[in-house]
Amino acid sequence: AQSVSQHNHHVILSEAASLELGCNYSYGGTVNLFWYVQYPGQHLQLLLKYFSGDPLVKGIKGFEAEFIKSKFSFNLRKPSVQWSDTAEYFCAVSPTGRRALTFGSGTRLQVQP
Amino acid sequence: ETGVTQSPTHLIKTRGQQVTLRCSSQSGHNTVSWYQQALGQGPQFIFQYYREEENGRGNFPPRFSGLQFPNYSSELNVNALELDDSALYLCASSLGGTGVSYEQYFGPGTRLTVT
């Protein structure tokens, strides 16, 4: 069975700081990778996804993630965070061709103005 | 295009009771997945329905059961409720197909409290 680890449970940044959230997964086959975001009081929204091709994927709101197959990682990045990025971020993985997602435990990001 | 909707929003039940949660999938989506999100945790996969058939199940006991209807809406039923069943229950819909990958779109969830 696959598993997902998110190393940072709670991150506090000032506005304009750069962001990198770590995500590692364990699974022996090919995978699809996702980052979801949950803003306060809102439902889970898809931030970006990787299915195949270019390992650097761009998502909404200036976020991007890089799939490094050799490291089983899919880290999320943003060059300059805003107060509105305060939210919980979840990394998720599914084996290619299946739709059941395995989520990490989430990273709570707090951006201070 | 309407998104995924769930009802009710909140629910309080007593241990031992049964509960039914409902989900309407996003327009055009034929696959529905259910997840349980305990406080401070990531969502955990319960099961998935594709064209009215169960198409995968996570590590949940048989007292968690489900249905999908011809219009692709779905129900999650939980019998003999336990205190640990208190959680946010999320429904997600997607397109489906054998060997094909699609992203899932989540509803707002139903907050279940078992006392």
When pLDDT is cut at 50, 70 and 90, the band that residue B23 belongs to is very high
Q: Which has the higher per-residue pLDDT, B22 or B30?
A: B22
- Give B79-110 pLDDT, tens digit per residue: 999 999 999 999 999 887 655 567 889 999 99
- pLDDT in the model for residue A100: 86
The order of strands in the sheet holding B74-78 is B5-7, B19-24, B74-78, B64-68
Sign of CA dihedral A34, A85, B44, A22: positive
Query: What's the first-to-final CA gap in chain A, in angstroms?
Result: 41
- Look up residue A94 and give its amino acid: S
Interface subset of B 8-67, CB within 8 angstroms of A = 31, 33, 35, 40-45, 48, 55-56, 58
A104 close to A4: Cβ distance less than 8 angstroms: yes
Q: Is B104 on the interface with A (CB under 8 A)?
A: yes
Share of chain B above pLDDT 90, in %: 74
Q: Which has the higher per-residue pLDDT, B66 or B27?
A: B66
- Give A20-47 pLDDT, tens digit per residue: 999 999 988 888 999 999 999 899 999 9
When pLDDT is cut at 50, 70 and 90, the band that residue B1 belongs to is low
Sign of CA dihedral A98, B6, A58, A23: negative
Share of chain B above pLDDT 70, in %: 94
Structure letter (DSSP) for residue A48: E
Contact call for A99 and B58, based on CB within 8 A? no
Nearest CA distance, A7 vs chain B (angstrom):
13
- pLDDT in the model for residue B73: 94
- Say which residues have a Cβ less than 8 Å from residue B106's Cβ, sequence separation at least 6: A36, A43, A44, A45, B4, B90, B91, B92
Q: Please state the rounded mean pLDDT for residues B57-71.
A: 95
A4 close to A25: Cβ distance less than 8 angstroms: yes
Task: Tell me the two tokens of residue B87.
Answer: 């959680």
Nearest CA distance, A12 vs chain B (angstrom):
17
